[in-house]
Structure 1
Amino acid sequence: MLALFLLASYLLLSPEPWPVSLHIAKRPPDFKAWHDAELALPQNNASLPPPQGRQGRYVRFSNHYTHEGWGNVMQELLMNAHLAYVANATFVMYNYTWDPYARGDASLFLFTKVVPARTPMSALVAGPVAGGSYPEEAWRPPAVTPEFFEKICPEPTLFDVSRLKNESEIHPWTSASDIMDVFSAHIQTSRDNCMEFKADTGRIFDWDLFANVERMRSLWPTFKHSPILTEWAWSPLVSSILRDNYARIHPLAGDAESNSILPGLLAMHIRRGDFVRHCTRLADRNQTYQAFNAFEGMLDQFVPPRGWGGERNQAYYDAYRERCYPEQEAIVAKVSQVRMEALEQGRPLNRIYVLTNGDAAWTKDLERELRGEGEWESVTSSRDLEVDWEQHFVAQAADMVIAARAEIFIGNAWSSLTSNVNMLRVVRGVPIETSRFW
């Protein structure tokens, strides 16, 4: 087993083509066209007049998340880009990076699945975080590529995040707005136009912050109006998944540029895989919901049961599990309840879309159970989408598009993906009572 792992690792790290005869795995896409398009962005031009070109002020976040799922990466991406916006510095784009140390295009996920080592951000999203323009009333110089930054900033001022946090007395309970103010001041007062947060020195905005509604609350009134959020859009690659699959999802889902609600659609996010263990860890921490799953007015809120600091019995862990890792019977019961309540509110539901990382057999069985509990025009899931090889690696983003536009959304309140969906729903003015939880 060790020999096989070492062989696979060598092949993945090698810049040479894999020997076809070994059939280790299909090589992931290199996303070359997307990367080339980023390099060709007109703002990557040293001759542009200030505040662009050589006289611009730039900030690069080399300390960004790696080896993390898209939900966590998206949270940090939004906050990093908003920090650059607040500090009036040009944001330096970065890839969605799984493995920063891979020499080639491929890496391994959990030692078994071959995945892209890095994906250009423009293959996932559009808007200011991917080099798109800002609205006129909130204009900033558009984001540039790391390659351009390295060209005009060969020796940037390097910031050590952990050291700055210590010096600024930022603690695990410091609010998001205070953290934003502290780091914005560091950027604004720098004498150098070229700034970089060093890799491996900690994160400015970490998981504990996004998981704490009290710490995030103070930032939300300004953050929700940031063009980083209001101009958020999805890439043409993600949009193509919806155009190719709208007949399976909803008749109106093919217009991927629209943010309009898909009437009658119930979308639900059901985590499987690592969450079977993660839900226990959440219980051990007595963890509350992710911050953007705890907006005022949201239904199905959860008060952690007693047990923090003392003995936890099975009932304590069961209380978390039934919300965090619901089984099929509970899922079907919740769907029936939500459908009835939606009808009473004048929102008849007639279609289901399931966002899930559950295996194909489990998901198909769930689809059958849901069809058996009521008449639905369609019941489909992530596993039913037909995608090509490039689309396959951004399909989670397509799930988020569908969930953000669903008439009713049931999510996993400890999930960053659910949190991001609800954040987008609130920013777009979707009624807050349409976001539900297990």
Structure 2
Amino acid sequence: MPNRTRWSLNSPKSLLMFLIPPLILVFIWRFLPRTDVFPIYSNENTSLPPLYPDLQDEERRLPQHNLDLPYPEGRSAKMLRFGNQIWGLGLNNQLQETLLNTYIAYLAQRTYVFTPFTWDLNNRPFVPIAPDGHLVGSPYKVRPARVPLTAYINSPTTGSPWPPGDPAPRSVSVEWWDRVCPESERLHINTAVVNAQIGVDFDKDEGIDIVEKWAKYIRSIEHRCINILFATPRIIDFGGDYKRHCEWLSTFASFEGWNRLPFLPDQFNPPSDSASRAQYALNRCWIEIDDVVKRLDKLREEHPDADLNNIFVSTNGPTEWLEELKKRLWEKGWQSVVTSRDLELSWREQGVDNAVDMELAARGEVFLGNGYSSFSSTIVRIRMVRGLPPKNTRIW
């Protein structure tokens, strides 16, 4: 009889996969128009999501928040703030940009200014969750407007020291920036103007070339407080169900972020004609239960040494869809099938449940991700950094 309730993370014979079932997704692109100091909100009401005021307080007490430190920190520190950083998107969309911005600041030999994971810029602790939003199944009707970034990562990006011997200055919080870099002392840089000035060609330049051009330009500036801004704020709304989103992506997009690493086994190789390409891309983005069952059977054949028996499905899909998926997989002989909805998390863990899922997936013997997903992309990066074999990191 298959095990329908228990699953061990410590089992080395586990297949972890990520998929996006039919549900509503809303993508809203926005960019920070300004910086503000927000109060610490304290919330011990477990009927609402946690706000982690203790972590925000720890961020405020970082030792580099000290004007008396010697250069390259202290009162002479050269800081780089990305006022155009995205908000209102999911964790991994924001995290990818945060890591890129950290890298640019590092190359430019400047202090990176980190910001919270942000859903809303208004001075309020919570924002409503749309009833058809992508948090289908959430136990709450609201979400935090901001979550301290240290609730998700603890690294040089959030102020931890760089490796011994690295002269790079430690990152500081946006609140420290607001304190030591008043508006009168900020140099605002318009990206459209600078891109033309330094010869950035998005149609021809490789990504690393664009990054290095920007880092070189920023290194040439002596101004202490630099704030990067777009020419104009913009809002782009991609609303609707995920299938429609996949159909839209299939017309032009390839895989996302680290899902495109050339040494991974499941590369994006579409046909040349547009109609066939669109269908190829759609088949790799939009996944039905039959597709899941067939692909997992094939993975068992392709990874005989792994002796795969257990499945963890990271998902926010509807319960009915998941129950049908479980039933079909049990019928195929999988010993244990567990989904995100089956995890018993504490109140504080529930607030970062997406990060919990990512850690589980990063530890899997085999991971199967969605190539169009930033969530999958981050998991791929974690697995590669940890030295897991690329052949065990698969894409639909």
Q: What TM-score range do you get, normalising by the shorter chain?
A: 0.7 to 0.9
Shift of 1:317: 4.8
Structure 1 residues 290 and 357: alpha-carbon distance in aligned structure 2, compared to 1, 3 A threshold: same
* Matching of residue 78 in structure 1 with residue 78 in structure 2: no
Counting only pairs closer than 5 Å after superposition, residues 152-301 of structure 1 correspond to structure 2 as: 152-154=180-182, 155-173=185-203, 174-198=205-229, 201=232, 274-285=241-252, 287-301=253-267
Aligned 8 A contact 1:67 1:99 in 2: yes
Return the letter of the residue paired with 1:69.
G
Q: Which residue in the other structure is 1:262 paired with?
A: none
Structure 1 residues 201 and 189: alpha-carbon distance in aligned structure 2, compared to 1, 3 A threshold: farther
Q: Which residue in the other structure is 2:295 paired with?
A: 334
* Matching of residue 408 in structure 1 with residue 366 in structure 2: yes
Return the letter of the residue paired with 2:206.
S
Q: Which aligned runs of 4 or more in structure 1 are off by greater than 4 angstroms?
A: 199-203, 315-318
| Secondary structure, counterpart of 2:93 in structure 1 | helix
Q: Which residue in the other structure is 1:149 paired with?
A: 177
CA distance, structure 2, for counterparts of residue 201 and residue 390 of structure 1 = 37
CA distance, structure 2, for counterparts of residue 335 and residue 140 of structure 1 = 45
For each residue in 1:2-47, what CA deviation from the matched residue of structure 2 results, as whole angstroms up to 9, or x when unmatched?
xxxxxxxxxxxxx9x9xxxxxxx95443321111110011111111
* Matching of residue 133 in structure 1 with residue 153 in structure 2: no
Shift of 1:324: 0.8
* Matching of residue 121 in structure 1 with residue 149 in structure 2: yes
For each residue in 1:379-415, what CA deviation from the matched residue of structure 2 results, as whole angstroms up to 9, or x when unmatched?
2111112223432231111111111221111110111
Unaligned runs of 5+ in 1: 1-14, 18-24, 208-272
Q: Which residue in the other structure is 2:33 paired with?
A: none
Q: Which residue in the other structure is 1:372 paired with?
A: 331
CA distance, structure 1, for counterparts of residue 48 and residue 294 of structure 2 = 42
* Matching of residue 383 in structure 1 with residue 341 in structure 2: yes
| Secondary structure, counterpart of 1:170 in structure 2 | coil
2:320 to 333, 358, 361: 361
Unaligned runs of 5+ in 2: 1-38, 133-140
Structure 1 residues 169 and 26: alpha-carbon distance in aligned structure 2, compared to 1, 3 A threshold: farther
* Matching of residue 107 in structure 1 with residue 137 in structure 2: no
CA distance, structure 1, for counterparts of residue 209 and residue 168 of structure 2 = 23
Structure that is richer in helix per residue: 1
CA distance, structure 1, for counterparts of residue 306 and residue 292 of structure 2 = 20
Structure 1 residues 335 and 200: alpha-carbon distance in aligned structure 2, compared to 1, 3 A threshold: farther
Structure 1 residues 188 and 429: alpha-carbon distance in aligned structure 2, compared to 1, 3 A threshold: same
Aligned 8 A contact 1:62 1:197 in 2: yes
Structure with the greater relative contact order (CA < 8 A, sep ≥ 6): 1 or 2?
A: 2
Shift of 1:274: 4.0
Aligned 8 A contact 1:61 1:198 in 2: yes
Aligned 8 A contact 2:250 2:279 in 1: no
CA distance, structure 1, for counterparts of residue 308 and residue 232 of structure 2 = 48
Q: Which residue in the other structure is 1:31 paired with?
A: 52
Q: TM-score, normalised by structure 2?
A: 0.79
Shift of 1:202: 6.8
| Secondary structure, counterpart of 2:226 in structure 1 | strand
**Greater Cα offset, 325-334 or 361-370:** 361-370
Aligned 8 A contact 2:293 2:329 in 1: yes
CA distance, structure 1, for counterparts of residue 213 and residue 80 of structure 2 = 15
Q: Which residue in the other structure is 1:349 paired with?
A: 308
Return the letter of the residue paired with 2:388.
V
For each residue in 1:39-96, what CA deviation from the matched residue of structure 2 results, as whole angstroms up to 9, or x when unmatched?
0111111111222110111111121111111121111111000111111111111111
Return the letter of the residue paired with 1:356.
T
Structure 1 residues 69 and 200: alpha-carbon distance in aligned structure 2, compared to 1, 3 A threshold: farther
CA distance, structure 2, for counterparts of residue 187 and residue 108 of structure 1 = 39
Aligned length: 338
Q: Which residue in the other structure is 2:61 paired with?
A: 40
